[in-house]
Amino acid sequence: MQKKIYLVVAMFLLGACSRQLTEDPKGLVAGTAALSNMAGLEAALTGAYGSLMVPWESGFTTVSQIAMTMGADDLTTHPGSNKEEFREFDRFNVSSLNSRMTPIWLGCYKTIQSTTNIINNYDAVQDGTEEEVHEIVGEAYFLRALCYYWLTRLWGAVPVIPTEEYSPDLLELQKSEPATVYRLIEEDLAMAEQWVSNEKRDPGRPNKGAVKALLADVYLTEAGWPLKDASKYALAAAKAKEVIDNKGAYGFDLYQDGFQQIFAGGTVEDVFTLFTRGQWSTYNSFYGLSTMPENEGGWSDFFPELRFFHDFPAGPRKDATFSTEFVVDGDTIPWQQVSTKHPYYKKFRIQSGNPYTYMSNNPVIMIRYAHVLLIYAEAQARATGAPNAEAYTAINAVRHRAGLDDLQPGLSGAAFADSVVAERSWEFAGEWNRWFDLVRLEQVAAANASKDPGDLQPAGAITEEKYWMPIPGNDALINPNL
């Protein structure tokens, strides 16, 4: 009997089930195995794009980039309603807690994390050819450059993330100056230019032409404030020219069958476009209700400033850019009678399907071929001090489509460049381009100097401090080095 009890007690103590206590995380994508094959690498790249298209949370499918560029003269917002946060951008008193900044800040950094992971670890891929791997990694370089470009243009000095692996010292990361950030952007784009092929793998991806177009845009910006490296104008012109010269190979051109059509995406004009599917998966939330007046049941988030609208040259482009009449309860009313007494952007109206929604499958067009033409025109003129014939050809192609006459020939380099900048403001009205032009050319104060009394006025003097956004407050609270 006693022996039996000892036996039982022994079994009590020895019955430790170490095997049962070892975890087997079935179905969990964990550790380095994730990137060990082509499918995993591709999935990581898809995730990188995905972070640019999570509505309201991360990326460019929300009204964030429009809100953040409201300091320009082509965009303003509702003076009342629930538009406090939008008004902060328009009136140049942006709080570090303005939540409209978050999707861009987070979206870019999340994509930087994913692409850095790909770039640092693609060596581990066991299958696939080198070419196939390079295609994926090339796109990753492109996306990372695109994200740093957006970050440094909006926030100036920003942290550069050295690794995708977390360590506590990253919580004390210092900011890098724009010059450093731009150097990284150029390096990444150089790699992308090498590895991305001429043909887009999908409509929503870059090809070599898209990489070059982005690089041209980067050069143009580097030539202006804050780096003011004028030598970059020539590089911008050269890079844009490479795209123009090979537009057939890249499948780019100006789309001629109706200006508004471009904004539904999928035309030859697309150089780099983020596509959305709608239907509660990926969707675009700044097309539709966001751009419609309250009278139509819209949210009235953004619309053009009055002086900009009045100065906009008439023609088919103007007609396609702005909505000036609205149907309310069967009656058509002019823009002067809507509650905000402003016209709205027709570009971002939903062209097919239910227009009264904030979830559509519309694209976010990041770079279109007109950009390439006008980058070339401006950069060529500024680089050499005199526009050449190709520069005139480039701007006139855009003007013709807009229903405008040829630009006056024989302009000086400066005057020609100014014309291009004006042309850019109309061509890309509302497309978050104008703000970056005003910043790099240090014209923000001038553009806001004589506002229509019917528009919101700046809260104070517009200094260069206002060119950059405050680092989002929640991150700055965690890392005081920001």
Partner 1 sequence: MKLTALLITIAFLQVHAGGHAQTVTLSRQQTSLERIFKEIRKQTGYYFLYTDEQLSGAAKVTLDVKNASLQEVLELCFRNQPLTYTIDNRIVIVKRRPAAAITPATPPADITVTGRVTDEKGEPLPGVTIQVKGTSTGVVTDVDGRYTISVPAGNAILLISSIGYNTREVPVNGRTDISVVLQAQASGLNELVVVGYGEQKKSTLTNAISSVSSKEFRDQPVNRLDQVLQGRVAGVQVTNAAGSPGGSVRIRIRGANSINGDNGPLYVVDGFVGAEFFSINPNDIASIQVLKDASATAIYGSRGANGVIIITTRKGSKDGLKVNFTSRFSTSQVINKLDLLNAGDFAETANAHATATGTAPPFTTEEVADLRAKGGTDWQDEIFRQAMAQEYMLSLSGGNDKSGYFISGNYLDQEGVINNSFYKRYTLRSNIHSKLTDRISTFLNITGSYSKAQNVDIPADGPHSPLAQAITWSPTVPVRNAEGQYTTADPVSSVFFNPVALTTEQLTVTDRMLANAIGGFRFELLPGLSLNLQYGANYLQYENRSFAGKVVNSGTATTSVRNNREIRLQNTNTLNYHKAFNGGHTIDLTAVMEYQQSTYNFTQAGASNLTYEHFKWDNLGLGTPGSPSSGYSKWALFSLVGRANYAYKDKYLVSAALRRDGSSKFRENNRFSYFPSVSAGWVLTEEPFLEHQQTLSYLKLRASWGLTGSEGVGPYSTFSSYSRRIASFTNSTFLNGIVLGNIGNPDLQWETTEQKNAGIEIGLLRDRISITADYFIKDTRDLLLNEKLPLYLGGNTITRNVGAVQNKGWELAIEGAVINRGPLTWNTWLNFSFLRNEVTSIGSSSQRIFDPNNRRIGGGMSPQSEFVVMPGQPLGAIWGLTYLGTWKPGDAKAAEYGAAPGDARYLDLNGDNVIDADDYGVIGTGMPRTSVGWNNTVSYRSWTLNLFFQGLFGFDKLNYNKAAAMYHGGDAREATHVDILDRYIPGVNETSDIPAFSTTNRNFTQSTRFLEKADFLRLKNVSLSYDIPGSKLKNAVGIKLFVSATNLFTITDYSGIDPEANSSAGDIRQGIDFGSYPNAKTYTGGITLSF
Binding to partner 1, residues 3-22 (CB under 8 A) = 4, 7-9, 11-18, 20-22
Judged by DSSP in three states, 402 sits in coil
Residues 180, 420: Cα–Cα separation, whole Å: 29
Size of the site for partner 1 (CB under 8 A): 120
Residues 415, 397: Cα–Cα separation, whole Å: 18
Q: Is 99 in the site for partner 1 (CB under 8 A)?
A: yes
Q: Is 310 in the site for partner 1 (CB under 8 A)?
A: no
Binders in 188-217 for partner 1, by CB under 8 A = 201-205
Q: Is 414 in the site for partner 1 (CB under 8 A)?
A: no
Burial of 232 (0-12, 13-18, 19+ CB in 10 A): buried
With CB under 8 A as the contact rule, the residue among 48, 407, 421, 439 that binds partner 1 is 48
Residues 87, 31: Cα–Cα separation, whole Å: 45
Q: What are phi and psi of 42, to 5 degrees?
A: -65, -40
Binding mask 363-402 for partner 1 (x = CB under 8 A): x---------------------------------------
Binders in 266-295 for partner 1, by CB under 8 A = 266, 274-282, 289, 294-295
Question: Are 210 and 367 a contacting pair, CB within 8 Å?
Answer: yes
With CB under 8 A as the contact rule, the residue among 69, 102, 207, 321 that binds partner 1 is 102
Q: Give the nearer residue to partner 1 in terms of CB position, either 166 or 389.
A: 166
Binders in 426-455 for partner 1, by CB under 8 A = 454
Q: Give the nearer residue to partner 1 in terms of CB position, either 91 or 424.
A: 91
Tell me how far, at minimum, the Cβ of 463 lies from partner 1, in Å. Answer: 14
CA atoms within 13 Å, Cβ hemisphere of 465: 8
With CB under 8 A as the contact rule, the residue among 180, 261, 337, 351 that binds partner 1 is 337
Question: Are 469 and 150 a contacting pair, CB within 8 Å?
Answer: no
Q: What are phi and psi of 345, to 5 degrees?
A: -85, 115
Residues 280, 440: Cα–Cα separation, whole Å: 37
Query: Binding segment for partner 1 among 24-32, 236-244, 371-379, 442-450 (CB under 8 A)?
Result: 24-32
Question: Are 441 and 421 a contacting pair, CB within 8 Å?
Answer: yes
Residues 103, 51: Cα–Cα separation, whole Å: 9
Sign of CA dihedral 12, 13, 14, 15: positive
Residues 80, 456: Cα–Cα separation, whole Å: 11
Closest CA to 301 of 292, 313, 311: 292
Q: Give the nearer residue to partner 1 in terms of CB position, either 158 or 373.
A: 158
With CB under 8 A as the contact rule, the residue among 123, 129, 131, 166 that binds partner 1 is 166
Q: Is 64 in the site for partner 1 (CB under 8 A)?
A: no
Q: Give the nearer residue to partner 1 in terms of CB position, either 144 or 399.
A: 144
Q: Is 344 in the site for partner 1 (CB under 8 A)?
A: no
Q: Is 347 in the site for partner 1 (CB under 8 A)?
A: no
Q: Give the nearer residue to partner 1 in terms of CB position, either 33 or 314.
A: 33
Tell me how far, at minimum, the Cβ of 303 lies from partner 1, in Å. Answer: 12
Q: Give the nearer residue to partner 1 in terms of CB position, either 99 or 384.
A: 99
Question: Are 435 and 69 a contacting pair, CB within 8 Å?
Answer: yes
Q: Is 69 in the site for partner 1 (CB under 8 A)?
A: no
Tell me how far, at minimum, the Cβ of 468 lies from partner 1, in Å. Answer: 15
User: Token pair 């009264």 is at which residue?
Assistant: 356
With CB under 8 A as the contact rule, the residue among 65, 76, 78, 365 that binds partner 1 is 78
Binders in 450-479 for partner 1, by CB under 8 A = 454, 456, 459-460, 470, 472-479
DSSP letters for 210-232: HHHHHHHHHHHHHHSTTT--TTH
Q: Give the nearer residue to partner 1 in terms of CB position, either 266 or 313.
A: 266
Tell me how far, at minimum, the Cβ of 80 lies from partner 1, in Å. Answer: 3
Q: How many CB atoms lie within 10 A of CB 443?
A: 19
Q: Is 51 in the site for partner 1 (CB under 8 A)?
A: yes
Tell me how far, at minimum, the Cβ of 113 lies from partner 1, in Å. Answer: 4
Judged by DSSP in three states, 268 sits in coil
Q: Give the nearer residue to partner 1 in terms of CB position, either 87 or 208.
A: 87
DSSP letters for 77-102: --SSTT-HHHHHHHTT---TT-GGGH
Q: Give the nearer residue to partner 1 in terms of CB position, either 24 or 123.
A: 24
Q: Give the nearer residue to partner 1 in terms of CB position, either 180 or 295.
A: 295
Q: What are phi and psi of 58, to 5 degrees?
A: -150, 125
Q: Is 120 in the site for partner 1 (CB under 8 A)?
A: no
Q: Who contacts 467 (Cβ-Cβ below 8 Å, separation ≥6)? A: 156, 225, 226, 439, 444
Q: Give the nearer residue to partner 1 in terms of CB position, either 251 or 473.
A: 473
